[in-house]
Every structure is written in structure tokens, then in C-alpha cells.
Structure 1
């Protein structure tokens, strides 16, 4: 396992990390989470990703209980959470849901700390942009979280390059804590934002990336080539919105060809897809998701494939996937 600086900070995160979206509480209980966190940690993973909205707070509860059971020194791991949607579902969006206003953010961090049983959270993200709150207000609130010692670094997730730059410039002008990292979706079929839109930000402001969905929610495992298997992520009712893309004929045909390349390199297509995202020098860490220990262990096998992605191999991969990417 290699460790990379997160943007221009002195913090180093493992090149592969472990997230909890969809799985924790829904598919993974505290016992299973503890087992997988321990296995990931033993393999060198030091970054574990979460969000307030995952399972409406229960994902944070599960992860917090697992950390407590593992009793790791706090210096040895990095944990994140993300804010935007909130936990309320009563239709009142003024202060609590779908917002990055100061009132919501200052209460959200306290809730996450309580659920995760932590004194501070290393990385906090604005989970989506909020067109109804001035960026100045959001920047001041996120900076104050750090000043108060409740978080160490802050960043964004799925923000436009223009909004990230605006937030950074506001923080710079007012001597506030600047946004350090972005958490975008990044995989073989979704690459424009990371490779083109953010291109100037890496040098201009030192933006770091903690990318998610390297397997395109399972599409790049090959398991959806013949439909939606029972027990898979795509079979969950909460994930019904992605079934069409999981069964896309052209992309599944490309996956079948990628399987051949992976086999030539001594791995499987999931490992190849993770290795492809990992080989991008702009990516600080690739966030993995797993519902079973065996799945996590298999995904960690991507580390062995990363150095095998020669320019010739990458060219073959691009020929299959780039025309289908967005």
C-alpha cells in the first residue's frame, strides 16, 4: 500500500480506502463492519469514508461502534463525513435538509461526532453544492468547524470547478481555512470532470481527490451482464434508479472485453477498474465499497495490477471505454 498527500496538505492517505455508502446498516452490521475495517487496516488502509445521510445517520453509528471495538490509536486512521441532505424528512428544507447554511452545518457536525463517538472528524465535505446559500456563508461555517477543533480539513463533493475555485478564493481573501479536497465520481465510464473540468485546479489551488465508485456501482465487476442478480446492490429497492445504467448493453459489452485484458494481467475486471482509477496521479485515494469481507479482499488485489497498466494497456482500455464515457 502506498500513501499519498491529500492535496497540498501534510496529511497522507492510503491509495485505496474503504467507504460505507449503501452497505453499512443496510447490508453490513457492526460485527461485519468491524471485521472489514480490521482487514482493510491490516492491508494498509488508513482512510474510512462516511456521510451523514448514509442510512440516515445509521452508517455513522455502525462505523463509530466498529472504531470503538477496534480501539485503534486515533492518530492511525483518517475518517470523513459529508453534509448536505440532513436527516429530517418532513418537507421543511429551511434549516435542515438540502442545504449548506450555517445553522444546518453547525448542528450537523455535532450530530456526526456524537454518532461516530469521536472528538473530531478528519475530513468534512459539503456533499453537494447549494445554489440557495451564498458560498461565503458556507465557507465561513466550514472554516469555523476547523477553528473549533471539530474537524481538521474540509472539502467538497460533486462541486463544479467554478464553485470550488470561488470557495477557495473567498477563504483566501478572508484568511479562512481553504477547501482542500474534492470527492467526485470517477471510473472508466465517468471521467470528464476529473480529467478535464478540474484540470486547472490541481496546480492552481492544489486540489486533492478522494474518488468514489471506481466500479460504477458494480457495472465494472461484470455481474450485471446478464441482468440484475438477486442480492446485488442493483437489486436493492433504494438503488432502483441506477438499474438502467447497470444494464446498459454497450457498456456491458465493453466490460466483457475488459475481462480479457484483466485476465492477461493476472486479475479480474473489478481489480482492473480499481487499478485504472488508482494509477491517476491526481487521485489521492480510491474509495472502495464492500458488503462482504471476500469482496473487500478481492478489491484490494487491485494493488498488484496498478504497476501493470503500461501505456499500451491503457491505450487498449481507452479504446474500449472512452467512447462510452461522460
Structure 2
């Protein structure tokens, strides 16, 4: 009873409405006009509602308060703010979302939302404006919607993304226990800090802490393996930053199953903390590693899967006519386990330098899959959604995906992506079979060959 009274008091603008009883995800939310405080609602995991995004009791002292961030409006007065927020509420109540689930990441005790915000687009990547006010509105909408994972990288707009997110988190002053920040230690031949030495790892973590203005980072991921650095040095360095309290967990990004198993073996040998997550590409046209090998790694050594795709992070348009070439051609050229790199330096030069002589083959691959794109898009139209929303729901149907990263340059894109969650119950066995028939690319392991037969 005290919780219901507190929720009613916290929503002064809706004081005349009925008190919001405990929500049930299977019931309709169209008649529910009350909006409980996010901090109260988030305690009611594993379901969080998208309808608890606007607050009118946050003071409204300045033009860029919580209400502005949640509604995406740049209003100069409280009257303008109230008008924009009411309009946004009226629109969203017509299209309620079923909510967000929380899952353990890998076999750790860390609970994460099944969708996270990949901030590359938000902080000025492909299609992003780089405007901090817009980025704050997107992050506020994600947080108030129940998303608790914010993913960063040294490669995502460089150090600027960490600096901006640090300022936003400082201004918002959210409870540190309610969100998870992940960042990456990026390595390639062009970076100034070459390799994954102990020196580079420790310096990168310390620098990220300063930029983020945080006392610790929840997860630090190693982006790609340095073949010139011993695995023992990498795992000992990660164990050191965890033992110092600078990092809570560590994981990997774009590692092969063999490399992940090698890291795990070294951790066990030297009594170091083991990785809990691998961040990998997963979508309708790239399925082998996430579907065949990641479940095995989860069951054997407890490594979970944080997935992303070129559509969900906003790297290409969700419209079929725009994304067919870029989405498919990027998925066509990758080795067996590691996927297309989504970092800025490589996305700009990959085809120009490495695959320039394969332009004809790229065109053939795009034409080969264009029919499948059209059929999947037609199926999405029949379901009343976009191709991107269907791709999000389809990815989350895989129980191995504990967190799917979404990207958004503005609040409209994020809201549209979050609405894709309501498609998950609609993807029943017959619908999934129809998608499999269209794709015709379900991965399978090669048959076992007896060593006796090879003699």
C-alpha cells in the first residue's frame, strides 16, 4: 500500500487518474494513465514498462531538465514542456510496449536488460548528430524505459563519447546501482597504444575512468586479440584492474571460440577472473558463431552473448532499398568466426582498400540476397512493423542473446526500436518457420569424421 501511495504522490500531473496497480505484461496498458517513478518501477523486475517515461514533478527549473530529455523537446517554458510531454504520452499510449526483461549476463550475477544502448550512433557515429543535448535525450529515454546497459568503445567516436556520457551521468545523478556501463580496450595496427600489453590495458582503464567520471566501470571488453601479446599477460592485466576495484567484470569482443577458451584456460591456470561475455555480430544473415558456438561456450565456461547488428545499431537504414547492398555485402566478407568490424577507421576503408578488387563479387552477393530481403520485408509489412523491428524481435528469440545492443541518433529511432519488443510474442513456431524458409541459411555443424576413416 505504501508503494502505491508513493507512486501516486510522485505523479502530480496525473493526480486525478486512477492509481496504477501492479502491472501485468499480459494485460493491456491503454487504460492506464498513471506513470510511476522509474526508480520505483525498475524495482519490479523482470518487467519494465515504456509508459513510465515522463515525469512532471522533477522541478522544471531549467529548459533542459528530465522532462526535456524524456520527451525530446527543446522547450523554453514549463507550459511548452507540459504540452510536448502530453502529446508524446498520447501518442505512446496508442502503441504500448510489452516491456523489457532482465537477464543474468553469462553465468555471472550481473543483471542486464535484454536490450542495451550502443552509443556509437548516439554520440556522432554514422547517422548521428554528435549533439550532446540530443544524446542526453536518447540516454534518458533509454534509462526511463528500463534499459540499463550503455555500451561504449575507444573506437566509437573516440574519447569524446566517454567524456560526453560522463557529463550526462553526472548531471542526471542516477543511482549508480541502476545502470551498467561497458567500454572497450580497442587494439589495431593504427592505434597509438600498440598491442594489448599490461601497460596499455591499465592506462586505458585509468583514462576511461577519468573521462566517465566514475569510480568503477562495470564491464571492460578487449576488442580483438593481439597476436603478438601472450594471453597470460592479457588475463593477468584484466585480473589486476578488477582486483583494484576499477572494473567489475571483463569480456571480449570479436574473439573466436578458440581464443575465448584459451583465455579461460589461462585464467584457471593462473587463478585469474574469467571473462563473462563475448560481444558478437548477430542478425538474419550472420548466424554461425552466435547459434553454434556461443551456446556451447555458455554451457561449458559461462560466457554469455551480447549481440549487435548493422541494422540494430543504426549503421545502415532499416529500409530494404537502402540497406540491401551495404548490409549484405558487409556480412559476406568475414572469416569463419570474427565478424565485420563496426569501428570507424575500418568501416571507412574496408571496401576501398581491402575489397576494392571484389566489387563485382559484392554486387553478385547483394543480388543473391535481394529476393530474401524483399520477402522478409514483405513479411514485416504483413505484421505491421518495419524490417528493423522484425530483425530485433527475431534476434531476441534466440535465448543465447542475453543483451541486444540498439543504436539511435534520436529518440524517435530509439522508441521505434523499443517497440520491436512487442513483436517477440508474435513470432510463434509457424512464423519462425516461415522466416527460416525465406532465409534458408540455418547453420549446422559439419559431420563428424572418424580418424579411422582418414587412414
State the TM bucket, normalised to the shorter chain.
0.7 to 0.9
Which residue is equivalent to 1:259? 377
Larger mean Cα displacement after TM superposition, 296-305 or 214-223 = 214-223
Sort the Cα spacing of 1:22 and 1:255 in 2 relative to 1 into closer, same or farther, 3 A: same
Pair 1:287 & 2:389 matched: no
Question: Where in structure 2 are the equivalents of 1:1-326 lying within 5 Å?
Answer: 1-26=100-125, 27=128, 28-85=130-187, 96-97=193-194, 99-213=195-309, 215=311, 217-218=315-316, 220-224=318-322, 239-241=347-349, 248-323=366-441
Distance in 2, matches of 1:183 and 1:249, equals 29
Residues 294 and 305, structure 2, Cα contact 8 Å, conserved in 1: no
Sort the Cα spacing of 1:269 and 1:172 in 2 relative to 1 into closer, same or farther, 3 A: same
Residues 188 and 322, structure 1, Cα contact 8 Å, conserved in 2: no
Sort the Cα spacing of 1:22 and 1:225 in 2 relative to 1 into closer, same or farther, 3 A: closer
Which residue is equivalent to 1:231? none
Sort the Cα spacing of 1:227 and 1:209 in 2 relative to 1 into closer, same or farther, 3 A: closer
- Which structure has more relative contact order (CA 8 Å, sep 6+)? It is 1
> How many positions carry a matched residue from both structures?
314
Distance in 2, matches of 1:52 and 1:297, equals 26
Residues 182 and 207, structure 1, Cα contact 8 Å, conserved in 2: yes
Sort the Cα spacing of 1:317 and 1:146 in 2 relative to 1 into closer, same or farther, 3 A: same
SS of the residue 1:123 aligns to: strand
Residues 149 and 180, structure 2, Cα contact 8 Å, conserved in 1: yes
SS of the residue 1:281 aligns to: coil
Superposition TM-score, scaled by structure 2 size: 0.64
Sort the Cα spacing of 1:9 and 1:159 in 2 relative to 1 into closer, same or farther, 3 A: same
Distance in 2, matches of 1:115 and 1:237, equals 22
Distance in 2, matches of 1:84 and 1:11, equals 23
Residues 122 and 138, structure 2, Cα contact 8 Å, conserved in 1: no
Q: Which runs of 5 or more structure 2 residues have no equivalent in the other structure?
A: 1-99, 327-341, 352-358, 445-455
SS of the residue 1:45 aligns to: coil
Alpha-carbon offset, residue 214 of structure 1:
5.8
Sort the Cα spacing of 1:190 and 1:226 in 2 relative to 1 into closer, same or farther, 3 A: closer
Distance in 1, matches of 2:406 and 2:273, equals 28
Distance in 2, matches of 1:309 and 1:55, equals 36
Distance in 1, matches of 2:416 and 2:256, equals 33
Alpha-carbon offset, residue 170 of structure 1:
1.2
Larger mean Cα displacement after TM superposition, 169-178 or 106-115 = 169-178
Residues 275 and 303, structure 1, Cα contact 8 Å, conserved in 2: yes
Sort the Cα spacing of 1:107 and 1:240 in 2 relative to 1 into closer, same or farther, 3 A: closer
Residues 281 and 308, structure 2, Cα contact 8 Å, conserved in 1: yes
Alpha-carbon offset, residue 69 of structure 1:
2.0
